Structure 1
Amino acid sequence: MKDVAQLDLDTLIACPKCDALYRVGVVNKGDQGRCERCHTRLFTRRRDAGLVIIATAFASTVLVIAALFLPFIEIRRLGFSNAATIVDAALAFYGGPLFALSLAVLALIIALPLARLVLTIYTLTPLVLDRKPWPGAKRAFRFSEAMRPWSMAEIFVVGCAVSLIKLTDLARVEIGPAFWMFVAVVVLMAVQNVVMCRWSVWKALDR
């Protein structure tokens, strides 16, 4: 049996769940690879996956930016009404003892998702156009992947949905367009995560 140190590392792929090592040959579009030990998907070469990812990233970026300036929620009670945007909700504790919490919410639901989308577009655009990766593309994609666990737009949407259900007993609640935009962003980002083959992206960046 060959020692691992003597193998060509470019032909190896490690399972992200159980760390099993596999040697990968030529991978064509449409091919899939799964771990024999834990059945985790290792790679999937989908046709036109890059175009789908860039399209969803562009759409998500536009929706997030637009949602910042549109009403997220409006509450009516006894003839009075109050509307709030996403920024208003994130900065609800601004200036108080929970100032750090406001900044954290702003970063996790707005700044980090936007940064990930921009970095994804920057990384994949030249690859889809069959051109040389732009300067710093590897670092950009690495940062994007590092921020993935901290991008919590979907958790924010679920939390808001639960809160809105509880508020309906106290006042009339109207969901604004920004809420539905964020729901669309969550769906688009889920599609992006399913379609993206990170192993294929790294291989393309190493060309």
Structure 2
Amino acid sequence: MTGHDSDLDALIACPVCDALYRMAEVPNGGRARCRRCDTVLMAPRAGAMTQIVMLSATALILMIAAIFFPFLEMSTGGVDRRSSVIDAILAYSNGLMLPLSVAVASLIVILPTLRLMAILYAIGPMMIGHAPWRHATEAFRLATALKPWAMAEVFIVGVAVALVKMSGLATVSMGPAFWAFVALVLVTTLKDTFMCRLTVWKTIEERQR
């Protein structure tokens, strides 16, 4: 590696305003912020990788429960009906509505699950002190790219709005999958709070050498 390449590797860019900074050591519990837009650039925490892996594994279990358990139960006119997330996806699987079914399945199930699995693959071995597995860089890059497209929280907000509108037409009760989705959103949010992307990138690069 030339001196010029080494200088470039020591630079980090703010993800919001693209301001360049020279990478420096940040102590656990500290924060490095962009001087231009105040975005947090690095925020390492002691034991963060363990917390990220545990929360990701928990979110993956909650996702499985949210998919297969009953989501809602509606009662109207003496007729009871239970529906799951799978039922909601398959409801649009015929004819011209098939693309909508694929989009719903992708945004609330497939992409969030893929992102959680990519995080576990990239960070899991490092949590126990091992070198990252092969293609850990690509896995974490995929997890970062999928973050805006994993929309389980948007789904929950949409369901809440629909429940308000349906409350006058039928008796609606939430099933275990609904609460699993709520817990999934909370756990995912907490996991993203603990995860400092630059710290993860730096750790992967150091342990791959």
**Which TM bucket (shorter chain)?**
over 0.9
SS at match of 1:42: strand
TM-score, scaled to structure 1: 0.95
Q: Is the 8 A contact 1:94 1:102 kept in 2?
A: yes
- d(CA) in 1 for partners of 2:152, 2:113: 10
- d(CA) in 2 for partners of 1:23, 1:167: 55
| Structure-1 residue corresponding to 2:136 | 137
SS at match of 1:27: coil
Give the CA deviation at 1:6: 7.0
- d(CA) in 2 for partners of 1:192, 1:125: 14
Q: Is the 8 A contact 1:71 1:177 kept in 2?
A: yes
| Structure-2 residue corresponding to 1:27 | 26
Q: Which amino acid in 2 is paired with 1:152?
A: M
SS at match of 1:83: strand
SS at match of 1:29: coil
Residue 48 (1) aligns with residue 50 (2): no
CA displacement, residues 14-67 of structure 1 (integer Å, 9 cap, x when unaligned): 111111111122233222100011100001011111111111101110011122
- d(CA) in 1 for partners of 2:8, 2:31: 20
| Large movers: runs of 4+ above 6 Å | none
| Structure-2 residue corresponding to 1:105 | 104
Give the CA deviation at 1:7: 6.2
Q: Is the 8 A contact 1:13 1:24 kept in 2?
A: yes
Identical aligned pairs, as a percentage? Answer: 43
Residue 91 (1) aligns with residue 90 (2): yes
SS at match of 1:36: coil
| Structure-2 residue corresponding to 1:182 | 181
Q: What is the Cα-based RMSD across aligned positions, in Å?
A: 1.2
Q: Which amino acid in 2 is paired with 1:52?
A: Q
| Structure-2 residue corresponding to 1:193 | 192
Aligned length: 203
- d(CA) in 2 for partners of 1:11, 1:35: 16
- d(CA) in 1 for partners of 2:180, 2:27: 36
Higher share of residues assigned helix:
2
TM-score, scaled to structure 2: 0.94
CA displacement, residues 83-125 of structure 1 (integer Å, 9 cap, x when unaligned): 1000111121111210111011001100111111111011111
- d(CA) in 1 for partners of 2:190, 2:32: 19
SS at match of 2:61: helix
Q: Is the 8 A contact 1:72 1:176 kept in 2?
A: yes
Q: Is the 8 A contact 1:91 1:106 kept in 2?
A: no
Q: Is the 8 A contact 1:91 1:103 kept in 2?
A: no
Give the CA deviation at 1:162: 0.5
Q: How does 1:117-156 map to 2 (within 5 A)?
A: 117-156=116-155
Residue 63 (1) aligns with residue 48 (2): no
Structure 1 residues not aligned, in runs of 5+? none
